[in-house]
Amino acid sequence: MSFIAPNQTIGIIGGGIDSYTLTLAARQMGLHPAVLTATANDPALAAADFALFGDLSNPLPFSDLADMSQVIVYADENINTDLLKGISDHDRLPQGIDILSITQDRYMEKVFFEDQNLNTAPYAMVVNLDDVRREIESIGYPAVLKPTQKGLGPKKQRILYNENDLEAAADYFDGATAILESWVPKARELSVLAVKTADGAVTVYPTIENMYSPAHQLQASIMPARIDAATNHEIRRIARLLGDKVHYVGVFGVTYFLTAAGVLYVARLFPGPRGSANVLEYTTGYSPYELHLRAVCDWSIPEPKLDRAGVTVTISPNTLAKAIELIRTQPNTHFSFYPQRGDLAPDAPVGFASFTAWELENVIARVEALGIWHIQDKEKPTTDD
């Protein structure tokens, strides 16, 4: 894999907040980001040195991006892998495409986890309501219907609480396969970020506790996660195991569910940095986006060190006005805001605020005292992305 020095061009495929943040990180590292998105008003384009937009099912924009870039990354895991094959040599696309065959398909992801003898929520593949009626007898209520293909959004998922919900799901099926998955009564939703370099080394960063709304919008990230040492050890072991098994370079993440009884379930694997790990920047000194770029550009990777405890909360349209008021009264809080484009859902992310202290209890108390965000446990079925 080639070393990418400052003043060289990095191509970024995909738009949205993660792409925007990745583009900013590239500029801070002295790289020239060329960003390809599907729409001309994507916020990531405003931060790019070279802005390209076009039909992401058409190979021409990919060719244009490849012509100007020394290295290319994808910010959207739901990208068409056929269009990546022309640039999928290890030098140009360090992430490769092998991991996408796992992360784009819920069934393949489940099989991958089972092949590593990992604990996952009970599931079954279904194609019609008769399949659901049969499989629900062993899976039980509540359960969640999800498309096999990822990236279709929470609206494509259906929670079944009882038989009435099951019968009402007749309109869910359109000929495509789906996954019926047991809802895990989780006490904690956890994630861990790891970095894999070209030489195969996997560096695992501290475990994060994430809190979500019922619609699975991120509300808060807590570090260190409030879990025991044995659970933390297992989380890190699994991340390292999965990193060893995939042909990939860059940041990847693993998410988990932890029940009140202490049972750990592996939920999903994802390539690239996510906003749920923004708390890393203020607790370890390195953002997940910088770590990803360091890996794909063959820069050295820092050893993980938790310098302080932290809580990062999502700023949404519902909390934006109050968050702006805090800018003048909270000098030790880190604020970050995203460019806003058009109408947003009430709980959509428009930025985040990060609070840190030496002790986690002090950080949580500080956030709770503001009366805007609440760091508390919820046990309701949620959909994922």
DSSP per-residue string spanning 69-110: -SEEEES-TTS-GGGGGGG-STTT-TT-SHHHHHHTBHHHHH
Summarised one tens digit per residue, pLDDT across range 106-148 is 999 999 999 999 999 999 999 999 999 999 999 999 999 999 9
Residues 323 and 194 occupy one common structural domain: yes
Residues 271 and 131 occupy one common structural domain: no
Residues 232 and 323 occupy one common structural domain: yes
Mean pLDDT of the region 224-228: 97
Summarised one tens digit per residue, pLDDT across range 322-335 is 999 999 999 999 99
Summarised one tens digit per residue, pLDDT across range 25-71 is 999 999 999 999 999 999 999 999 999 998 888 888 998 999 999 99
Q: Considering 161, 182, 203, which residue would you say is the last residue of a domain?
A: 182
User: At residue 377, does pLDDT exceed 80?
Assistant: no
Mean pLDDT of the region 356-373: 96
Residue 50 exposed, middle or buried by CB count within 10 Å (0-12, 13-18, 19+): middle
Residues 129 and 267 occupy one common structural domain: no
Say if 135 falls within a structural domain: yes
The CATH number of the domain holding residue 326 is: 3.30.470.20
Residue 162 exposed, middle or buried by CB count within 10 Å (0-12, 13-18, 19+): exposed
CA 305 to chain centre: 21
State the residue range of the domain holding 154: 122-182
Residues 211 and 173 occupy one common structural domain: no
The CATH number of the domain holding residue 170 is: 3.30.1490.20
Number of structural domains found in the chain: 3
Residues 273 and 317 occupy one common structural domain: yes
The pLDDT, as a whole number, for residue 376 is 63
Say if 272 falls within a structural domain: yes
User: At residue 225, does pLDDT exceed 80?
Assistant: yes
Residues 87 and 151 occupy one common structural domain: no
Nearest-5° Cα angle at 189, 188 to 194: 130
Summarised one tens digit per residue, pLDDT across range 297-320 is 999 999 999 999 999 999 999 999
Is residue 370 a contact partner of residue 333, using CB atoms and an 8 Å limit? no
Residues 74 and 222 occupy one common structural domain: no
For the whole model, what pTM was predicted?
0.94
At 359, the amino acid letter reads: E
User: At residue 381, does pLDDT exceed 70?
Assistant: no
Q: Per residue in 52-62, is it b (16+ CB within 10 Å) or e — as a string?
A: bbbebeeeebb
349 φ/ψ angles, rounded to the nearest 5 degrees: -75, 130
The pLDDT, as a whole number, for residue 345 is 77
Is residue 128 a contact partner of residue 176, using CB atoms and an 8 Å limit? no
The pLDDT, as a whole number, for residue 53 is 92
Q: Considering 162, 182, 202, which residue would you say is the last residue of a domain?
A: 182
Residues 174 and 206 occupy one common structural domain: no
Q: Considering 135, 153, 182, which residue would you say is the last residue of a domain?
A: 182
The pLDDT, as a whole number, for residue 151 is 74
**Where does the pLDDT of residue 359 fall: very low under 50, low under 70, confident under 90, or very high at 90 and above?**
very high
Residues 204 and 346 occupy one common structural domain: yes
CA proximity to 225, closest of 257, 188, 251 = 188
Residues 293 and 358 occupy one common structural domain: yes
Residues 177 and 89 occupy one common structural domain: no
At 290, the amino acid letter reads: E
